[in-house]
Structure 1
């Protein structure tokens, strides 16, 4: 994961071109006990996105998350189907299969 999720913002609104408040931003970086960058596994029971998806999550205030997996991006996974594997701690870990142990004499 290049770059990073950033450190948040002090501003609580997004202004329009005249400087008036346009949007309200969430007060905390955590939504539904998840933060952007957490490693998660989602098991979607039915629909177009049915199946198991493991990867980094991007949280949304609506509860509809985006998960970036090794195979691509899956958008619109509900927070109820998501389970936390590891919190975002600033490092970008890679998922890969464990290598078999070779027997050496």
Structure 2
């Protein structure tokens, strides 16, 4: 697990410099969880600390919201981020129509 976290931290640094998106790290975490089904909830929580839900695309958020491998706290966080993004989009549309 520590090897995965180290590699993920390096990947995050590179990804943020290039793309600014967390989609790649989300996919890596999802694959890691799929291949390491024996991980405890606390181990999954520790790994998910690497994930910045605010930098995930809508598509990644939709997938994460339905992902049974993620800890419930992460799913709740993803849903909260999507709600905030929707609220901001609506606010901009309403202001733009004035």
Shorter-chain TM band: under 0.3
Q: Which structure's relative contact order is higher, taking Cα pairs within 8 Å and 6+ residues apart?
A: 2
TM-score (norm 2): 0.21
TM-score (norm 1): 0.20
Between structure 1 and structure 2, the one with the greater Rg is: 1
- Bigger helix share: 2
